Chains A and B, each alone.
Chain A
Amino acid sequence: MELSLSSLKNIESKYLQPNQTPLNQPATEHIADATPIMKIQHPSTIKTIPLEHSLDERPVVAVDVSSIRIGETETGVLCAIRGAIVWKEKNRYRYQRIGPFPFHITEQNKKEIYKLFRNHHFEISEDPRAPSITNIQARMGNLLERWLQLGISCSAYGTIILWDGSMTAGMVDSPVDEMSRLLEIARNRLSIVLAFSKNTTLRFSGHKLTDYAEKAEPPCLLQINDFPSSSGPIILLGDVYVAKLTPGVCSFRLDIDRKVPRERGIEAVQSLLRSDLLVQSYPETLRLAHIFSTFTATEVIGIQRFIAQQYGLKIVMRPNVRRLLFGPFGKGAEG
Chain B
Amino acid sequence: MRLYKKEGNSIQILSSPKDDVEKGDYLIVEDTNVNRKLITQVIDVQFASVPGLLEELLRDSTTGEQIYGENFDPLGVSSHINHIQDARMLLCKIRGTILNDKLRVNSSWLPSRSKSGITKISINSLLAHARGKEDLSINIGETKDGSPLNITAHDLDGRLNIITGKKGTGKSHLSKLLVLGLVDYKATVVVLDLNGEYAGLGLSAKGGGNKYSDRVYVLTPGANFRVSLSQMGLSVILKILVHALDLPGTSTREFKRIWKSLSQQGKFTLQDLGEAIRKCSCNMHVRDALFSRYYSLVNSGFFTDDEESATSFEKLFDETRDNGGALVINLKDVSSIDRQIVLEYTLGNLVKLLNQWKIKSVFLFAEEAHLYLRETYWDDIVTRMRHFGLFTNFVTNQPDTIKENIYRQADSIFLFNFTNERDLETVSKAARVDSETVKSIAQELPPHHCLLIGRAVKDFPVMVKVRALDIKTMGQTRLFFTNTDS
Smallest beta-carbon distance B155→chain A, Å: 47
User: In the complex the two chains form, is A101's CB within 8 Å of B75's CB?
Assistant: yes
Q: B223: CB under 8 A from chain A? A: no
Residues in chain A near residue B80, CB distance under 8 A: 302-303, 305-306, 309
Residues in chain B near residue A99, CB distance under 8 A: 72-73, 77
Q: Mark A106-127, 1 if CB is under 8 A from B, else 0.
A: 0000000000000000000000
Smallest beta-carbon distance A295→chain B, Å: 8
Bound: A224/B361 CA distance, A: 103
Q: A301: CB under 8 A from chain B? A: yes
User: In the complex the two chains form, is B56's CB within 8 Å of A296's CB?
Assistant: yes
Bound: A300/B65 CA distance, A: 28
Q: A133: CB under 8 A from chain B? A: no
Given contacts A94-B68, A301-B84, contact A306 B52 (CB under 8 A): no
Q: Which of A24, A92, A95 has the most CB of B within 10 A?
A: A95
User: In the complex the two chains form, is A97's CB within 8 Å of B83's CB?
Assistant: no
Given contacts A291-B62, A298-B81, contact A97 B52 (CB under 8 A): no
Given contacts A99-B72, A298-B50, contact A93 B84 (CB under 8 A): no
Residues in chain B near residue A297, CB distance under 8 A: 50-53, 55
Residues in chain A near residue B50, CB distance under 8 A: 297-298, 301
User: In the complex the two chains form, is A92's CB within 8 Å of B67's CB?
Assistant: yes
Q: Which of A5, A299, A305 has the most CB of B within 10 A?
A: A299
Q: B70: CB under 8 A from chain A? A: yes
Bound: A306/B75 CA distance, A: 9
Q: A333: CB under 8 A from chain B? A: no
User: In the complex the two chains form, is B51's CB within 8 Å of A298's CB?
Assistant: yes
- Among candidates A5, A92, A300, A302, residue contacting B83 with C-beta atoms closer than 8 Å: A302
Smallest beta-carbon distance A87→chain B, Å: 9
Q: B66: CB under 8 A from chain A? A: yes
Residues in chain A near residue B249, CB distance under 8 A: none
Smallest beta-carbon distance B309→chain A, Å: 80
Residues in chain A near residue B62, CB distance under 8 A: 288, 291
Q: A223: CB under 8 A from chain B? A: no
Interface of B is mostly: mixed
User: In the complex the two chains form, is A303's CB within 8 Å of B52's CB?
Assistant: no
- Among candidates A95, A102, A298, residue contacting B75 with C-beta atoms closer than 8 Å: A102
Q: A180: CB under 8 A from chain B? A: no
Q: A325: CB under 8 A from chain B? A: no
User: In the complex the two chains form, is A100's CB within 8 Å of B69's CB?
Assistant: no
Given contacts A93-B67, A297-B52, contact A1 B75 (CB under 8 A): yes
User: In the complex the two chains form, is A96's CB within 8 Å of B70's CB?
Assistant: yes
Q: B12: CB under 8 A from chain A? A: no
Residue of B nearest to A84 (CB): B69
User: In the complex the two chains form, is B84's CB within 8 Å of A298's CB?
Assistant: yes
Q: Mark B67-103, 1 if CB is under 8 A from A, else 0.
A: 1111111111110111111000000000000000000
Q: B59: CB under 8 A from chain A? A: yes
Q: Which of A24, A296, A299, A301 has the most CB of B within 10 A?
A: A296
Given contacts A96-B72, A102-B75, A102-B77, contact A296 B83 (CB under 8 A): no
B-facing residues in A5-39 (Cβ within 8 Å)? 5, 23-24
Q: Which of B50, B69, B78 has the most CB of A within 10 A?
A: B69
Q: A216: CB under 8 A from chain B? A: no
Residues in chain A near residue B68, CB distance under 8 A: 92-95
Residues in chain A near residue B72, CB distance under 8 A: 96-99
Q: A292: CB under 8 A from chain B? A: yes
User: In the complex the two chains form, is A24's CB within 8 Å of B69's CB?
Assistant: no
Q: A4: CB under 8 A from chain B? A: yes
User: In the complex the two chains form, is A24's CB within 8 Å of B51's CB?
Assistant: yes
Bound: A24/B210 CA distance, A: 70
Given contacts A298-B52, A303-B81, contact A4 B59 (CB under 8 A): no
Bound: A94/B70 CA distance, A: 8
Given contacts A92-B66, A94-B68, A292-B59, contact A100 B73 (CB under 8 A): yes
Bound: A292/B67 CA distance, A: 11
Given contacts A92-B66, A297-B50, contact A302 B75 (CB under 8 A): no
Residues in chain B near residue A97, CB distance under 8 A: 69-73
Residue of A nearest to B59 (CB): A291
Smallest beta-carbon distance A333→chain B, Å: 17
Smallest beta-carbon distance A219→chain B, Å: 23
Q: Mark A279-323, 1 if CB is under 8 A from B, else 0.
A: 000000000100110001111111101100100000000000000
User: In the complex the two chains form, is A296's CB within 8 Å of B59's CB?
Assistant: yes
Residue of B nearest to A100 (CB): B77
Smallest beta-carbon distance B375→chain A, Å: 59
Bound: A54/B84 CA distance, A: 46
Smallest beta-carbon distance A242→chain B, Å: 29
Bound: A4/B73 CA distance, A: 12
Residues in chain A near residue B69, CB distance under 8 A: 86, 93-97, 292
A-facing residues in B429-484 (Cβ within 8 Å)? none
Residue of B nearest to A101 (CB): B75
Bound: A309/B51 CA distance, A: 20
Residues in chain B near residue A288, CB distance under 8 A: 62, 67
Bound: A217/B66 CA distance, A: 31
Residues in chain B near residue A301, CB distance under 8 A: 50-52, 84
Given contacts A298-B51, A299-B52, contact A4 B75 (CB under 8 A): yes
Bound: A93/B77 CA distance, A: 24
Bound: A179/B82 CA distance, A: 37
- Among candidates B66, B73, B75, B82, residue contacting A93 with C-beta atoms closer than 8 Å: B66
Q: Which of B66, B70, B80 has the most CB of A within 10 A?
A: B80
Residue of B nearest to A291 (CB): B59
User: In the complex the two chains form, is A300's CB within 8 Å of B75's CB?
Assistant: no
User: In the complex the two chains form, is B71's CB within 8 Å of A296's CB?
Assistant: no
User: In the complex the two chains form, is B52's CB within 8 Å of A24's CB?
Assistant: yes
Given contacts A99-B72, A101-B75, contact A298 B67 (CB under 8 A): no
Smallest beta-carbon distance B54→chain A, Å: 9
Q: Mark A71-109, 1 if CB is under 8 A from B, else 0.
A: 000000000000000100001111111111110000000
Residues in chain B near residue A96, CB distance under 8 A: 69-72
Smallest beta-carbon distance B406→chain A, Å: 50
Q: Mark A219-257, 1 if CB is under 8 A from B, else 0.
A: 000000000000000000000000000000000000000
User: In the complex the two chains form, is A302's CB within 8 Å of B81's CB?
Assistant: yes
Bound: A101/B67 CA distance, A: 24
A-facing residues in B366-392 (Cβ within 8 Å)? none
Residues in chain B near residue A299, CB distance under 8 A: 52, 56, 81, 84
Smallest beta-carbon distance A39→chain B, Å: 36
Instruction: Identify 20 residue pairs between A and B in the complex whose beta-carbon atoms are under 8 Å apart, listed by A's number.
Output: A5-B75, A24-B52, A92-B66, A92-B67, A93-B69, A95-B63, A95-B68, A97-B73, A100-B73, A100-B77, A102-B77, A297-B51, A298-B52, A298-B53, A299-B84, A301-B52, A302-B81, A306-B75, A306-B77, A309-B80
Extra 6 A-B pairs, beta carbons < 8 Å, given A1-B75, A97-B72, A301-B52:
A91-B66, A102-B77, A288-B67, A298-B81, A299-B81, A301-B50
Closest 4 CB pairs of A and B: A297-B52, A302-B81, A95-B69, A296-B52
Name A residues whose Cβ lies closer than 8 Å to a Cβ of B. 1, 4-5, 23-24, 86, 91-102, 288, 291-292, 296-303, 305-306, 309
